[in-house]
């Protein structure tokens, strides 16, 4: 009883109206709405209550507006369906009538009462309790306005593969400046290495290089190659990013691609672009169409500027334009950024981890990307694949699917593209070597994508590939032949065959360093190491941190089509933010009572958004970062933090109302 008296004594200036909806018969059959009205009027803060057929209808909304004006209501409750349906509707009514939208609350007496109960007496009692608890909440609700902040109208795209290129171009074409950061010396990513692309067999360079050169010449794009993200601070619209730009030692502005430096350079190392199948010099250009269009020096391989050892490339008679600059320094670039697109791509799983396939021991067991280079007209084999051991054209070749994919010991997921690209490899190889015998060891053919099934069919019919269903257990080399231990699970026969070369369709794994980058940006990584999207279906390009979007194989293994689609989606999401003048953020955030805060930092450790900082030994919530989850509130040992419009006091009084104490 004490609670009741205490409550009666509480002076309240609040004048609350309650509108009980019949929802036709949906509520009225099981809930006695008239009684709810009668009972709720006994609440000291309630000055008006009525029931109506459909409160959400126009006449229903007019009832509310009329009551607000006539009774000078300070807030109101609609006892009706779930807040997920009409909370917005009624809060708009509040706003129209000059009330703060947060002075409207919904009592859910349909989904959580009339629809799930049959006893009218009890359902009515429950409706009264739910409505009272909503009243208790609304009288303690603060009037809140969405938090508005300005933003930098500039985007950062991390990763210069096809995903990053597409996203950067989309944003730049829409008229916003973009900073494109690429770790390597050129943009283009893995796609630049590919020969032809499924299912249409477009030549990869032909469709990619125009985009690369568009990036190079776009007035809105600032391209930073050989660059890495050092740290990211701030929040949606107001990120501050520091980028480390490593020296190239050749000035791209001056370099005229004469190739004289390469001819004179005495150092040869294996070429990353050709996946180790060819050699390059210490001063080199990864491939002729590289962007930026310039040579660079690999300082690890270079003998150095010391005239006694080398420095030949820098001599004026070699480099006429004097582009070679050994004094080039690492630069730290700072940028203020509004939105970020992360498109860091993938790499192939390290075949050395799969000992039984022997890719680290046997020259003729190669990776799918190596084979891609062998097929490429500009690759190390100049178009007709030759096996690495003796440079002969292989006549029998085996493609091994699911190498490292769908395998608990390696990567449990399906890498999505290997079935189709292995089919493409088979077809391209058959065109180049018509008398070849091709074996393809698969577990399941997963060619999911527009026109992919047709493509597989074409490969089966045209290339005459022997598709063998069964995982390969072991590969080794004997007498210059690659021996494969497999099984045909459809014929139930074990198979041992000898081929000239085996190609491993290795699984796609996230690019090296992604964990580090993700933790710098406070975005999540999923169980397989890929970037975690906010929701697999409804928010597939958003990260959990607002303002950071995901594109391409960094989020999950995907083919070029899906990558480009996702990149454009990420770009359009980014543009949705960049085109706004101010960003609004939910105002129901955590606040700190600095008098109570002991500076213990527990809240900092539990905040998933890094929204809390210690300033003068007191916690301070950066409101635009706070998503209002309340983790800090429940953790604070001093009760110094509270969540706006979900305070301990509100919960406590709602509890009282729910058990009939009010």
Shortest Cβ distance from residue 179 to other proteins (Å)?
28
Tell me: does residue 133 bind other proteins (CB under 8 A): yes
Tell me: does residue 111 bind other proteins (CB under 8 A): yes
Shortest Cβ distance from residue 656 to other proteins (Å)?
7
Taking CB under 8 A as the criterion, the residue among 489, 519, 579, 584 binding other proteins is 489
Question: Within 10 Å of residue 17's Cβ, how many Cβ atoms?
Answer: 25
- Nearest residue to 147 via CA among 220, 79, 244, 238: 238
Shortest Cβ distance from residue 222 to other proteins (Å)?
33
User: Cβ closer to other proteins: 562 or 627?
Assistant: 627
Shortest Cβ distance from residue 607 to other proteins (Å)?
10
Which residues in 278-337 contact other proteins (CB under 8 A)?
none
H or E stretch covering 52: strand 46-52
Separation CA 82–CA 109 (nearest Å): 8
Separation CA 566–CA 550 (nearest Å): 8
Stretch that binds other proteins, among 157-165, 379-387, 551-559, 628-636 (CB under 8 A): 628-636
Stretch that binds other proteins, among 106-114, 148-156, 226-234, 413-421 (CB under 8 A): 106-114
Per residue in 143-166, is it b (16+ CB within 10 Å) or e — as a string?
A: ebeeeeeebbbbbbbbbbbbbbbb
Tell me: does residue 656 bind other proteins (CB under 8 A): yes
Tell me: does residue 487 bind other proteins (CB under 8 A): yes
CA distances from 362 to 145, 354, 446, 522 (A): 67, 13, 29, 42
Separation CA 163–CA 184 (nearest Å): 15
Separation CA 195–CA 456 (nearest Å): 18
Separation CA 259–CA 233 (nearest Å): 42
Shortest Cβ distance from residue 488 to other proteins (Å)?
8
Tell me: does residue 122 bind other proteins (CB under 8 A): yes
User: Cβ closer to other proteins: 84 or 579?
Assistant: 84
Shortest Cβ distance from residue 368 to other proteins (Å)?
18
Tell me: does residue 593 bind other proteins (CB under 8 A): no
Stretch that binds other proteins, among 121-129, 378-386, 510-518, 549-557 (CB under 8 A): 121-129
Tell me: does residue 635 bind other proteins (CB under 8 A): yes
Most distant CA atoms of the chain, gap in Å: 100
Taking CB under 8 A as the criterion, the residue among 115, 216, 311, 326 binding other proteins is 115
Instruction: Tell me if 630 sits within 8 A of 588, measured CB to CB.
Output: no
Tell me: does residue 596 bind other proteins (CB under 8 A): no
Tell me: does residue 608 bind other proteins (CB under 8 A): yes
Tell me: does residue 259 bind other proteins (CB under 8 A): no
Separation CA 189–CA 159 (nearest Å): 8
Shortest Cβ distance from residue 661 to other proteins (Å)?
7
Which residues in 557-586 contact other proteins (CB under 8 A)?
none
Shortest Cβ distance from residue 544 to other proteins (Å)?
6
Q: Is the dihedral of CA 593, 595, 600, 601 positive or negative?
A: positive
Tell me: does residue 659 bind other proteins (CB under 8 A): yes
Tell me: does residue 495 bind other proteins (CB under 8 A): yes
Tell me: does residue 453 bind other proteins (CB under 8 A): no
Taking CB under 8 A as the criterion, the residue among 113, 170, 196, 559 binding other proteins is 113
Shortest Cβ distance from residue 371 to other proteins (Å)?
22
Separation CA 102–CA 561 (nearest Å): 44
Tell me: does residue 437 bind other proteins (CB under 8 A): no
- Nearest residue to 518 via CA among 528, 509, 531, 508: 531
Separation CA 499–CA 482 (nearest Å): 5
Stretch that binds other proteins, among 151-159, 293-301, 376-384, 632-640 (CB under 8 A): 632-640
Taking CB under 8 A as the criterion, the residue among 39, 51, 125, 623 binding other proteins is 125
Taking CB under 8 A as the criterion, the residue among 21, 93, 215, 402 binding other proteins is 402
Tell me: does residue 634 bind other proteins (CB under 8 A): yes
Contacts of 513 (CB under 8 A, 6+ apart): 183, 344
Binding mask 517-536 for other proteins (x = CB under 8 A): -------x-x-----x----
- Nearest residue to 217 via CA among 293, 137, 277: 293
Shortest Cβ distance from residue 608 to other proteins (Å)?
4
Tell me: does residue 646 bind other proteins (CB under 8 A): yes
- Nearest residue to 20 via CA among 122, 130, 136: 130
Separation CA 283–CA 248 (nearest Å): 10
Contacts of 536 (CB under 8 A, 6+ apart): none
Which residues in 352-371 contact other proteins (CB under 8 A)?
356
User: Cβ closer to other proteins: 172 or 403?
Assistant: 403
Distance of CA 309 to the CA centre of its chain: 48
Shortest Cβ distance from residue 1 to other proteins (Å)?
13
User: Cβ closer to other proteins: 83 or 199?
Assistant: 83
Separation CA 81–CA 107 (nearest Å): 8
Tell me: does residue 605 bind other proteins (CB under 8 A): yes
User: Cβ closer to other proteins: 31 or 583?
Assistant: 31
* E-state strands within 317-388: 331-337, 339-342, 346-348, 365-367
Taking CB under 8 A as the criterion, the residue among 494, 512, 582, 613 binding other proteins is 494
Instruction: Tell me if 198 sits within 8 A of 452, measured CB to CB.
Output: yes
Tell me: does residue 497 bind other proteins (CB under 8 A): no
Instruction: Tell me if 484 sits within 8 A of 371, measured CB to CB.
Output: no
């Amino acid at each position: 009883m004490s609670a009741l008296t205490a409550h009666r004594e509480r002076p309240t200036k609040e004048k609350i109206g309650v509108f009980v909806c019949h929802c036709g018969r949906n509520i009225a059959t099981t809930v006695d709405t008239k009684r709810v009205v009668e009972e709720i009027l006994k609440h000291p803060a309630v000055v008006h209550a009525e029931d109506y057929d459909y409160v959400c209808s126009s006449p229903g909304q007019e009832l509310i507006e009329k009551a607000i004006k006539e009774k000078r209501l300070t807030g109101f409750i609609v006892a009706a369906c779930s807040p997920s349906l009409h909370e917005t509707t009624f809060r708009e009514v509040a706003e129209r009538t000059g009330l703060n939208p947060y002075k409207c609350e919904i009592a859910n007496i349909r989904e959580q009462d009339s629809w799930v109960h049959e006893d009218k007496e009890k359902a009515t009692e429950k409706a009264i309790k739910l409505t009272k608890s909503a009243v208790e909440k609304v009288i303690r609700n603060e009037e809140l306005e969405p938090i508005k902040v300005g933003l930098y109208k500039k985007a950062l795209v991390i990763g210069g593969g096809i995903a990053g290129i597409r996203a950067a171009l989309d944003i730049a074409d829409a008229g916003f400046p973009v900073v494109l950061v690429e770790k390597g010396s050129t943009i283009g990513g893995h796609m630049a290495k590919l020969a032809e692309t499924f299912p249409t067999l477009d030549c990869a360079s032909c469709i990619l290089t125009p985009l690369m050169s568009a990036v190079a010449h776009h007035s809105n794009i600032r391209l930073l190659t050989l660059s890495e993200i050092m740290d990211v601070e701030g929040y949606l619209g107001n990120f501050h990013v520091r980028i480390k730009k490593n020296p190239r030692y050749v000035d791209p502005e001056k370099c005229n691609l004469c190739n004289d430096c390469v001819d004179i350079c005495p150092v040869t190392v294996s070429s990353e672009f050709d996946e180790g199948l060819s050699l390059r010099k210490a001063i080199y250009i990864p491939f002729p169409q590289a962007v930026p269009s310039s040579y660079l020096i690999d300082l690890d391989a270079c003998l150095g500027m010391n005239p006694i050892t080398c420095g030949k490339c820098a001599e004026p008679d070699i480099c006429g334009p004097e582009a070679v600059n050994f004094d080039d320094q690492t630069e730290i670039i700072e940028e203020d950024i509004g939105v970020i697109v992360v498109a860091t791509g993938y790499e192939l799983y390290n075949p050395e981890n799969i000992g039984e396939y022997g890719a680290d021991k046997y020259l003729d067991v190669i990776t799918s990307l190596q084979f891609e280079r062998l097929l490429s007209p500009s690759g190390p084999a100049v178009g007709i694949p030759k096996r690495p051991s003796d440079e002969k054209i292989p006549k029998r070749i085996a493609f091994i699917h699911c190498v490292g994919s769908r395998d608990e010991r390696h990567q449990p997921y399906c890498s999505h593209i290997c079935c189709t690209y292995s089919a493409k490899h088979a077809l391209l190889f058959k065109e180049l070597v018509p008398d070849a015998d091709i074996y393809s060891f698969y577990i399941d053919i997963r060619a999911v994508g527009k026109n992919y099934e047709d493509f597989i069919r074409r490969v089966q019919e045209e290339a005459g590939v022997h598709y063998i269903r069964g995982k390969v257990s072991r590969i080794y080399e004997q007498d210059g032949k690659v021996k494969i231990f497999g099984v045909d699970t459809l014929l139930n026969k074990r198979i041992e065959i000898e081929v000239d070369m085996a190609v491993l369709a290795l699984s796609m794994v996230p690019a090296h360093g992604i964990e580090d980058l993700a933790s710098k940006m406070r975005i999540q990584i999923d169980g397989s190491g890929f970037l975690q999207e906010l929701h697999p279906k409804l928010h597939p390009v958003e990260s959990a941190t607002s303002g950071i979007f995901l594109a391409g194989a960094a989020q999950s293994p995907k083919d070029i089509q899906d990558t480009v689609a996702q990149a454009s989606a990420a770009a359009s999401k980014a543009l949705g933010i960049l085109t706004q003048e101010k960003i609004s953020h939910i105002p129901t955030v955590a606040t700190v009572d600095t008098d109570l805060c002991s500076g213990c930092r527990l809240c900092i450790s539990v905040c998933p958004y890094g929204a809390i900082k210690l300033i003068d030994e007191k916690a301070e919530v950066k409101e635009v970062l706070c998503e209002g989850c309340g983790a800090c509130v429940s953790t604070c040992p001093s009760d110094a933090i509270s969540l706006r419009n979900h305070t301990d006091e509100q919960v406590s009084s709602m509890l009282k109302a729910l058990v009939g104490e009010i």
